[in-house]
Amino acid sequence: MTVTTAEPAPWRLQVVLLGLVTIGAFGLILYGFGAFVSPIRDDTGWSNASISAAFAIATLAGGVMSLGAGRLLDRFGAQPVMAGTLVVGSALLILSSTAEQAWAFVLAWGAGGAIASSGLYYSATMAVTARIVSDVERPRAYTWLTVIGGLASPIAFPLAGWFVEAWGWRVAVRAMVGFMIVCTVPALIW
pLDDT the model gives residue 36:
97
pLDDT the model gives residue 54:
98
SS3 track for 20-84: HHHHHHHHHHHHHHHHHHHHHHHHHCCCHHHHHHHHHHHHHHHHHHHHHHHHHHHHHCHHHHHHH
pLDDT the model gives residue 134:
93
pLDDT the model gives residue 68:
96
Q: How many beta carbons lie within 10 A of that of residue 43, not counting itself?
A: 11
Rounded Cα distance, 95 and 90, in Å: 8
Residues 6+ apart with CB under 8 A from 124: 66, 69, 70, 73, 78, 81, 82, 85, 118
pLDDT the model gives residue 190:
83
pLDDT in tens, the chain (190 residues): 554 455 566 889 999 999 999 999 999 999 999 999 999 999 999 999 999 999 999 999 999 999 999 999 999 999 999 999 999 999 999 999 999 999 999 999 999 999 999 999 999 999 999 999 999 999 999 999 999 999 999 999 999 999 999 999 999 999 999 999 999 999 999 8
pLDDT the model gives residue 7:
57
